[in-house]
Amino acid sequence: MYNLDIATIAVIAANIMVSLKGFNDSYFFDRYKFSIGAIKSGQKERMVTSGFLHVDIAHLFFNMFTMYFFADVVISWFGQGKFIVIYFISLLAGSLLALFFHKDEPYYSAVGASGAVTGILYSAILLQPNDSLYLMFIPIPIPAYVLGIGYLLYSIYGMKSRLGNIGHTAHFGGAVGGYATTLLFMPSLLGTDTLMVILLAIPIILLFVLAKMGKLN
């Protein structure tokens, strides 16, 4: 585990190159970031390009470091091609959910690979839900599925309260993309890990119920 597969290297390299360009070229950064007004006016490519831009080195490092730890799990199950598919579907799912929830906020903007990375993380958790994970400053192992559910519940709270300068909506959308695509690639999980599939779906169902009830505005 934790090998630097060629697909992982390619994704990290693309993020680094585009982000470095954005750090040094404000026009480039503004032209390709996620922006509701610009996307609605026709610049749909921003829904993908924004996923390779980052605010600063720390933002870039955290996203790539997180992906590094979970990418190998997904690649070991599905191979490089499907890993890339999950990555991009998660990225788009994050952008689409952000567009849906912020469609009436023309000045809303965001950047970062967090949606795509969260999709890879959620895919890995669905594939190996009983793996133990450690969080910074918490010296006890946490089952992967507990972390996954807790993270999405926190994202719902963040979306509702507009907590911090964080794209909670894109994170959640990415997780939905990773979850759905993993089940598409391995539908047998519905029979072999039914309980985990249901448990990991609970926050997703809760989000759309709350949205339908108007509780996230």
pLDDT tens for 121-159 read 899 989 998 887 766 556 677 777 887 788 777 777 766
CA distance 132 to 164: 28
pLDDT of the residue at 2:
52
Q: What is the percentage of the chain residues whose pLDDT exceeds 70?
A: 88
Residue 23 Cα to chain centre, angstroms: 22
Helix (H) or strand (E) holding 143: strand 138-143
Task: Compute CA distances 71 → 29, 39, 60, 137, whole Å.
Answer: 27, 29, 16, 23
Residue 143, number of CB atoms within 10 A of its CB: 14
Average pLDDT, the chain: 86
Q: What is the percentage of the chain residues whose pLDDT exceeds 90?
A: 52
CA atoms within 13 A on the CB side of 207: 27
- Least confidently predicted of 29-33, 60-64, 68-72, 160-164: 160-164
Any idea which residue has 């610009």 for tokens?
38
pLDDT of the residue at 1:
45
Max avg pLDDT among 23-37, 56-70, 139-153: 23-37
Which residues are CB-contacts of 209 (< 8 A; sequence separation ≥ 6)?
none
pLDDT of the residue at 13:
96
Write out pLDDT tens, residues 156-189. 776 666 554 556 678 889 999 999 999 999 999 9
pTM of the predicted model as reported, rounded to 2 decimal places: 0.89
Residue 83 confidence (pLDDT) above 60: yes
